[in-house]
Structure 1
């Protein structure tokens, strides 16, 4: 049998190394997310254990103990939504999709379908000049007209969407926004 030298990452094609790096990053992010939301199976905080281990202490020696040595009570569990909806900015009020005007729900349906839209300017980049939405790079937000019955023009109502899937409602032409909660 011949002994072949073992291949290292340096010998592999760059795309394979990149894929491994992306996969490792995703696994680490999901693990950290599960630890932060309490989704881990052990009931403890994996992030706290990892941080304590990195400092050279054992997780049980410091984590979950008060100064008197008694265990600290666990924080209340956060309710998990079946749809996975989480507000992107807790400083913004949210509004249930079912509480929006019928025309706004129609616009949301058109957005989900990809159009056709009633106005030529629907889908254009929303620049967030008023800075009322979370700050993002140019091109992240797009705006869509919500038809206003009786109005001769586009009116003041809009739905603004973000590239990550978030949706915002404004009935006063960008003076205020509410994040749309699709769970209700």
Structure 2
């Protein structure tokens, strides 16, 4: 019996824990990828102000962007590796002390990722703040905890990425994408 590869692998976890770097390595290895929508929003005109002044609006914009990315890749053959997913929005809302809107709740329940969810745990040795990654390391750890709890809340099993070199992380990702024996 042939088992199809997962269609939606997701990289989640702490800010600054190497997800985007791993996503780039996966793309270079030939995997289709979907970028982190939050970073795209933050880099767009008014994005940082939206996050600072209207975190609920920012979360709703992230959810809409994740839903578009999900739909974009839903019917294409093969595997796509996403840099974060819809439950990450719920984690952002939870860590921000905000209520999850019904539209986000519905999206998390109806748009289901079918593949491994790999968590990049907070990693102090590589964490660096930048123009969009404004959290302290402690805030990044709290974000990671909230995001992981959100993925669990929606019934996903989260697998921790090892704290190893990029090549070893890519090999781990590729092993997780192989069909079950």
Same fold per TM (> 0.5)?
no
TM-score by length of 1: 0.19
Bigger RCO of structures 1 and 2 (CA < 8 A, at least 6 apart): 2
The TM-score with structure 2 as length reference comes to 0.19
Structure whose residues are more often helix by fraction:
2
